[in-house]
A and B are shown apart, each in its own frame.
Chain A
Amino acid sequence: MDPRRTARTVSDPKVRQVGFFTPAPPERSISDPPRFQDPIQPPSPSSTQVNDQSPSGNSLSPVMIPPAHHHSDNFLRTALQATSPPKAFSYSAKTVTIPPENEDVASSFSPGRKVVSAKSPSSFPGVKASSVPASELTTVSVVNLPPGISEKAGGASVEVQNDRPVSAKTLKEKTSKAERRALQEAQRAAKAAAKAEGTKASSAASKVVTSANTKPSKATKPSSQKNDGSQVAASEKKGGDRAPEKDRKKDAPHPRMQYDDKSRVEKAKKRAVVKQTEARNRVELFRHLPQYEHGTQLPDLETKFFELDPMHPAVYKVGLQYLSGDIRGGNARCIAMFQAFKEAIKDYSTPPEKTLIRDLTARISSYVSFLIECRPLSISMGNAIKFLKNRIAKLPLALSESEAKSTLMLDIDRFINEKIILSEKVIVKHAVTKIRDGDVLLTYGASSVVEMILLHAHELGKHFRVVVVDSRPKLEGQLLLRRLVRKGLSCTYTHVNAVSCIMQDVTRVFLGASSVLSNGTVYSRVGTACVAMVAQAFRVPVLVCCEAYKFHERVQLDSICFNELGNPDAISKVQGREEINYLDGFVNQENLQLLNLIYDATPSDYVSMVITDYGMIPPTSVPVIVREYRRDHLWS
């Protein structure tokens, strides 16, 4: 069990970038070993618990904020620690003791070794106080805390519980229901785990505390003030109306894996299941994205089938299908993934001495990281995974294993039915009202929703013509074209090169999307932006059809930061035309860089309307939907 456990905890953090397609940051893997050596964070279970949830928190963040954010948080905490005890008495002492508990959360966030570093013991005696068994505690607190606190701290082991109402009260205004619940969940888990690991922790903790104990007596107040200086003062002023720790953590996104950072890539490779060889000549601007030699991984993975012990075969199969490109399209991939997860949950049994909630989350995480290695996640999949993890985290503890499993499987089914299948139907209903007789509709690529719209409008007896615009190298439009023509629609097929010529007799442009981002940017198959721009120039309304579960809180201005690189061979060679071999032998040249982008970002200016399951909305209202419904329907 143990080797597997480490493996899982290592892959655990990968979930954090679930929102998009980068494998885990290596930073997290460092933080894990210390967790075992350094029981300074006895509620380490709570920290993992928080980690498990933080993916949602992290990818929630709409804008990338430099991760330095955490440090300032620490400063703020320190400030609270350092300044309030002298003034504060029994009540405020209580409030002072909350931070430590949150602090564990914070420190679990920063790399584990940080906790051991000189700074934290010196500046956070309070932290120790709350997290360490009573006997050592009193020695610490008597030195530098007023009696009110030492009393409080005396009951350290129960403290988590004691604090809950207080923290809940103080946080009430700022935290949403879901967040409060998450916090409680974390605390409950912490309590449970603290009991389990209490013995181990206390023995180890005594060592650490004694070492830490030498400093605090003189260092506490002056050092913290010195260290933090003006920042403390500044942050303290705002401290009152700042959101609680957990909230702010959500604001600070996790640094995404940047593939031009060599050391990190090395580390990531070490734990990768799929060994991918990296392509050498990459376009400068896109170095931060993963690019692999295609075609090498598949046989490699196949041979590994029996070695990959924690991987469920259904998940494995889906991963291979992603890799080979058999399953593509946001909805198809999402449904396939969820069905695989359903299988996995069905066959799952909680290992002895583990809780279902934590263990299953970790296992799902490891599946997800495997899938990421096969192909970067789409945003829709990221959202779906967030949903599932949230469901797992919110399972009532009282539920038996079989009940929990069936609840989860029901949830998965419900998600597929409501968020994907039903919402497609609703979108079709809306979109059909915008098709009139005599229209010429243009679509690009192959979107499942657009196909349904066209077919439905045809069934309703509307007379219209369809222009299917396609592009190399995937030529997905031909698939769509085939299905439309078979149903008797009159179609025109052209490549994107001719879009400016054909656009003048088009009356509506229907586009699918991989995601719609908070600023109304449509993230979709590469070429979509081009079509939308031409349509806008011709004053043709552009209707983007996208299910609401694909909406994302992120703001993206270009298609460089986040994207996916496809196989460069696909654009250097033309299938079935051997005579086009101009690039043979040049592919590995140092001065040739091939770029096969998968997605692009269409600015909201080019989009007239987003058709979603909540109705037809302007692209500027996407954040409204995200704000109003995400929490209610997806997260709770």
Chain B
Amino acid sequence: MWWRSASFILDRQQHQNRTVAPSPESFLLSSPPPMADSPLNPKSNISAYYQTRAAHHAVVTSDWLAQAQAAVGRHSDDDGSLGDDKGAAPIGGGGGGGGEEEGSGKAFSVIDEFNSWRKQPALAEAVAAIRALAAVIRTSEATTMMELEIELKKASDSLKSWDTTSISLTAGCDLFMLYVTRTSALEYEDFNSAKSRLIERAEKFGEISCKARRIIAMLSQDFIFDGCTILVHGFSRVVLEVLKTAAENKKHFRVLCTEGRPDRTGLRFSNELAKLDVPVKLLIDSAVAYTMDEVDVVHFGADGVVESGGIINMMGTFQIALVAHSMNKPVYVAAESYKFARHYPLDQKDMSPARRPIDFGVPIPSKVEVETSARDYTPPQYLTLLFTDLGVLTPSVISDELIQLYL
């Protein structure tokens, strides 16, 4: 029991080794990448996670407003159909099963399933993964518990290796596996009822994960006061939910949005806020220090929350946190608990690299190197509080929760 953490490391090594094989084909399978140049270099290790984010939240073309509008329309449609989706989940699962019948391998169907869920902008990647894994259980033809477990493990491994740069995907899969397989009830029942119980648990877990954003929004309301100025960075669905709830609660606040280069997710975010009639101001990324003295609170989302209590987030988060820290502004992070990952980066380079193409608008001379990393690590000492669905936590409690979740 107590050395389980070691196996975690082993797992990681294994799926790192496995990464090489499935990634090229998975790129072919993945949803059409929005970036024009990404098909050009399918072999380079471009982070699928950041591509998806860019596809959902970034503004690439000049008519970004129209596109954003369209996206929002789709978004609200999805929201409306989300309930249906939940009800119709077996159908989706059936689709996955069909894919599996015609397809050659299990891994394919999981990833297809995952991708189909992933296309919804409102759905977090981890939740998509959870749904895909639930579909695996549903369509599984295994006849024993062990078989099912192995199948599930395989599926989650292939999902994890499909995109190693996505922390929430890995964490979501790990948590799902723990949540689903760790029920003592499984041992006493016959296979079918055990299986239905697994599906039940899987659905419950998916629901919990879906509700997480709401819970966080409710929890964070105490920290937004009338007349405050909030600085946000990038496009975070949780932060948007937080601010939306605050606006619904008739709080008066002002938001400063960074531009969020290179995919300019900040533009999209400011657009969303403008629709809510919240006063918004756009900043270029380098104007953060300049405006910091009028900021009361800094709000971040997170791609992953790591064991030290720090966060891994879109590039630029760390420097904003540094500026905020030096000016004694509170830095809040909103993150769902399925983003908690058992990673412990010691410094910026101590993570598996997540690359993303950067468009500078002008051709870059071949001799010039471009830093293409998509994310950075913000150490815990620069964060004030984390709003999670487990409650409002200080960074040092994260490891406590992680130990309880995983060990």
Contacts and interface: CB of A to CB of B under 8 A. Distances in A.
Contacts of A633: 2
A203 B399 CA distance: 60
Contact of B3 (A422, A608, A609): A422
Interface in B1-47: 2-3, 5-6, 8-10
A618 B342 CA distance: 12
Contacts of B346: 434, 508, 541, 543, 608-609
A426 B350 contact: no
Q: How large is the interface on B (under 10, 10 to 19, 20 to 34, 35 or more residues)?
A: 20 to 34
A613 B399 contact: no
A462 to B, nearest CB: 14
A625 B2 CA distance: 10
B391 to A, nearest CB: 16
A618 B307 contact: yes
Interface string B238-256: 0000000000000000000
Given A508-B346, A541-B347, A620-B399, A614 B307 contact: no
A434 B350 contact: yes
A628 B406 CA distance: 12
B396 to A, nearest CB: 4
B396 A614 contact: no
A433 interface: yes
B9 A430 contact: yes
Contact of A621 (B2, B3, B400, B406): B400
Contacts of B380: 618
Given A618-B307, A618-B308, A430 B6 contact: yes
A410 B88 CA distance: 56
A118 B406 CA distance: 57
A301 B399 CA distance: 49
A624 interface: yes
B399 A624 contact: yes
User: Most chain-B Cβ atoms within 10 A of its Cβ — which of A548, A613, A620?
Assistant: A620
User: Most chain-A Cβ atoms within 10 A of its Cβ — which of B10, B347, B406?
Assistant: B347
B350 A614 contact: no
A250 interface: no
B244 to A, nearest CB: 33
A615 interface: yes
A615 B406 CA distance: 10
A625 B403 contact: yes
Contacts of A615: 5-6, 8, 307, 342, 403, 406-407
Contacts of B3: 422-423, 426, 613
A629 interface: yes
Given A614-B403, A628-B403, A628-B407, A621 B6 contact: no
Nearest to A623: B400
B9 A613 contact: no
A67 B406 CA distance: 40
Given A422-B3, A541-B346, A608-B346, A618 B399 contact: yes
A625 B404 CA distance: 10
A628 B407 CA distance: 10
B266 interface: no
Interface in A589-636: 608-609, 613-618, 620-621, 624-625, 628-629, 633
B344 A609 contact: yes
B309 interface: yes
A78 B399 CA distance: 44
Nearest to B342: A615
A299 to B, nearest CB: 45
Given A430-B9, A615-B8, A609 B308 contact: yes
A629 B9 contact: no
A580 to B, nearest CB: 42
A628 B6 CA distance: 18
Interface string A395-436: 000000000000000000000000000110010011001101
B403 A426 contact: no
Interface residues of A, number: 27
Interface in B342-384: 342, 344, 346-347, 350, 380
A369 to B, nearest CB: 31
Interface in B379-401: 380, 396, 399-400
Nearest to B3: A426
A436 B350 CA distance: 9
A500 B349 CA distance: 24
A628 B380 CA distance: 23
B404 to A, nearest CB: 7
B344 A628 contact: no
A617 to B, nearest CB: 5
Contacts of B403: 614-615, 617, 621, 624-625, 628
A625 B5 CA distance: 13
Given A434-B350, A614-B5, A616-B344, A628 B404 contact: yes
Nearest to B394: A620
Nearest to A608: B346
Nearest to B381: A605
A426 B400 contact: no
A70 B223 CA distance: 44
Contacts of B404: 624, 628
A616 B2 contact: no
A305 to B, nearest CB: 41
B399 A629 contact: no
A459 B88 CA distance: 53
Nearest to A619: B396
Contacts of A616: 307, 344
A313 B197 CA distance: 60
Contacts of B400: 621, 624
A52 to B, nearest CB: 27
Nearest to A605: B381
A617 B307 contact: yes
A629 B4 CA distance: 13
A9 B350 CA distance: 56
A609 B406 CA distance: 18
Contact of B399 (A433, A543, A608, A621): A621
Contacts of B396: 618, 620-621
A11 B5 CA distance: 42
A629 B5 CA distance: 14
A620 B308 CA distance: 9
A620 B407 CA distance: 17
Nearest to B349: A436
A614 B2 contact: yes
Contacts of B399: 617-618, 620-621, 624
A511 B309 CA distance: 22
A633 B1 CA distance: 10
Nearest to A543: B346
The 4 closest A-B pairs by CB, nearest first: A615-B5, A620-B396, A621-B399, A541-B346
Interface of B: 2-3, 5-6, 8-10, 307-309, 342, 344, 346-347, 350, 380, 396, 399-400, 403-404, 406-407
29 contacts: A422-B3, A423-B3, A429-B10, A433-B9, A434-B346, A541-B347, A543-B346, A608-B308, A609-B308, A609-B346, A613-B5, A614-B5, A614-B407, A615-B5, A615-B6, A615-B8, A615-B342, A615-B403, A615-B406, A617-B399, A618-B307, A618-B308, A618-B309, A621-B396, A621-B399, A624-B400, A628-B404, A628-B407, A629-B2
Given A434-B346, A613-B3, A614-B403, 20 more contacts: A423-B3, A429-B9, A429-B10, A434-B350, A436-B350, A508-B346, A541-B346, A613-B5, A614-B2, A614-B5, A614-B407, A615-B403, A616-B307, A618-B396, A621-B400, A621-B403, A624-B399, A624-B400, A624-B403, A628-B407
